[in-house]
Structure 1
Amino acid sequence: MTAINTLTVSCEFFPPRTEDGIIKLRQVQERLKALNPAYYSVTFGAGGSTQEKTYETVVDIQIQSNIPAAPHLSCIGSTRDNIRQLLQAYQAKNINRIVALRGDQPSGWAGRLGDFNYANELVEFIRAETGDYFHIEVAAYPEVHPQSKTPQADLNYFAQKVRAGANSAITQYFYNVDAYLYFVDACQKQGIDIPIIPGIMPISNYEQLSRFSDICGAEIPRWLRKRLEPMHEDKTALQAFGVDVVTHLCQQLINNGVSGLHFYALNQSDLTLRIANNLGLVT
């Protein structure tokens, strides 16, 4: 069992597109300071579509909140030159944490894939360019990446990212604790010993969650779907139920010794804070 005072917490945001969005995200960051977060990560749009805004958001976080920020970098649409420039720019701003991903192709993508086909190649490049300067996070998929042919193939891909120099991993969100525990056990049997931090998705909107899950291959268990479906027009009831479900999920993970929790906050603070408060994580 993990002691609450040793558990690390982190939160993920997406780059706001408007001035109002920037102001709102700053308010969210300020509220989430109550979790004493280890860092805030910022996503990188499909095909590199938010590359500049990701940089601006990460720098703004460092300045406004004094919480370390971790930009996402993705392979899709990226070249060695532009990744090198981003790494140099982040180093110049004393940003030393990176989330390295293969990334998603935008709908109808017809552009060039880029110089990197897989995340392990991006990790190798970051290490070759910057040595041990960056703490590199990679993605893990307890319920198997939707494009992997088999669970073993997916595990092999993950092992390649670790061997390339990843320091730790953040999982895709899940609602089945056994899937996470089995995945971690399988990793340990292959000699993979980096921290694998569970990604936690608060439940705020059933239609949105269902759409996200279909795209990324995360399973919403049948019992959970059946409970959520009748509540889709009652936001208050759905979110209260979702807070209870995700609190229980997190408590099970803590009881099984996870070293951290990574909240997909989606530029909101309320549900993450309610879950964290239930767990005794709010200072």
Structure 2
Amino acid sequence: MTTPSVSFEFFPPKTLQASFRLWDCVQVLAPFAPEFVSVTYGAGGTTRKLTHEAVDTIGTTTDLKVAAHLTCVDATREETLSIADSYKAAGVNHIVALRGDPPKGSGGFTPAKDGFSGSVELTRALADKGFDVTVGAYPEPHPDATNPQACIDHLKAKFDAGATRAITQFFFEPDTFLRFRDACADAGITAPILPGILPIENWKGIQKFASNCGAAIPKVLADAFAHADTQETADLLAVAQASELCDDLLNEGVEHLHFYTLNKPELSRDICRALGLTPQVRLEKVA
């Protein structure tokens, strides 16, 4: 098993206290020398300004390579590409392009007037502008997909439109990812597909996330957390579960792991250590 490269996802803070928490997260995880870190974009573009501020702060105060999430929900093509241009002007050339979740209560995604029809069109426009584009992938069917093959076909369309790599939605069993990876290879997809790892920091919250995105929860995992009667026990279980998942993936040839941190870095840190990653010292931006 080789030592993997890693990346981490953060979300933009909405309060002063959350800003301190984000910076703590960066300080804890930056020593693992991530290949890149990304900053999410709220449903319906609700964190547009906050995302830009977080990306700019991390990019200008550390030597980390930052990727900005960008969606096409509730925005025209011109508005969306203007945001992309502002990132390029700030020195950010890596964008995670997603269709995006519609605002709550909207009844589903509907393209905005003069907006992109979805992630394929958005990916093509960003690639045409010279961006390094990462896209999303679903090892278990997306709630809007008619069948598993539709997810693979859609992913291939995004790669054909110019995407460089994909990050999967989180999952809990290695075979879920491995079967998806094999199916993508059979479809002619050769670009990197990075498994998305979500450390279980809050069991109730994770169950809700899983239900919303169609991620299956193994019974053995549900039973284990049902018997975790303290937060300390739950944290130990979370680290053990994710470390075993990552170890299985690495043994099957996976070379990169992407962690959804939820701006709570301790579990991701402990998992990286369990996998043999050695923290480095440098964080400050090199002049």
TM-score strictly above 0.5: yes
- 1:193 is aligned to 190
* Alignment partner, residue 253 of structure 1: 249
1-side partners of 2:276 and 2:31: how far apart? Answer: 11
Q: Structure 1-normalised TM-score?
A: 0.94
Give the secondary structure class of the aligned counterpart of 2:181. Answer: helix
| Unaligned stretches of 5+ residues in structure 2 | 280-287
Inter-partner Cα distance in structure 1 for 2:200 and 2:110: 35
Contact 1:140–1:172 under 8 Å retained in 2? yes
Amino acid aligned to 2:261: A
Write the distance in 1 (CA, Å) between the matches of 2:192 and 2:200.
25
Does residue 200 of structure 2 align to residue 203 of structure 1?
Answer: yes
- Write out the 4+ residue segments of structure 1 that deviate beyond 6 Å after TM superposition: none
Report the Cα offset of residue 109 of structure 1. Answer: 2.2
Does residue 66 of structure 2 align to residue 69 of structure 1?
yes
Instruction: Map residues 58-207 of structure 1 onto 2, 5 A cutoff.
Output: 58-109=55-106, 113-114=111-112, 115-128=115-128, 130=129, 133-207=130-204
Aligned positions of 1:240-279 closer than 5 A: 240-279=236-275
Asked if 1 retains the 8 angstrom alpha-carbon contact of 2:127 and 2:133, the reply is: no
Structure 1 residue 282: Cα displacement: 2.7
Aligned to 2:22: 25
Q: TM-score, normalised by structure 2?
A: 0.93
Question: Quick one: percent identity of the two aligned structures?
Answer: 38
Q: Contact conserved, 1:247 with 1:279, CA < 8 A, in 2?
A: yes
Cα RMSD between the aligned structures?
1.4
Q: Aligned with 1:242: secondary structure?
A: helix
- 1:90 match: secondary structure: helix
2:227 matches 1:230: yes
C-alpha separation between the residues in 2 aligned to 1:68 and 1:79? 28
After superposition, the C-alpha distances for 1:94-147 in whole angstroms (9 at most, x for unaligned) are 11110000111121127963212221110011123x1xx321110011111121
Deviations along 1:50-72, one digit per CA (max 9) or x if unpaired, are 11111111001101222111111
SS at match of 1:172: strand
Are the aligned partners of 1:39 and 1:68 in contact in 2 as well (CA < 8 Å)?
yes
Shifted more, 270-279 versus 61-70: the winner is 61-70
Q: Which runs of 5+ in 1 are unaligned?
A: none
Residue identity opposite 1:209 in structure 2: I
Q: Deviations over 1:139-169 (max 9, x none)?
A: 0111111210111111111111111111000
- Which of these residues, 216, 221, 228, is aligned with residue 218 of structure 2? 221
Q: Residue type matched to 1:68 in 2?
A: K
For 1:170, the aligned partner's letter is I
**How many positions carry a matched residue from both structures?**
276
Answer yes or no: is the 8 Å Cα contact 2:71–2:99 preserved in 1. yes
Q: Distance in 2 between matches of 1:278 and 1:261?
A: 13
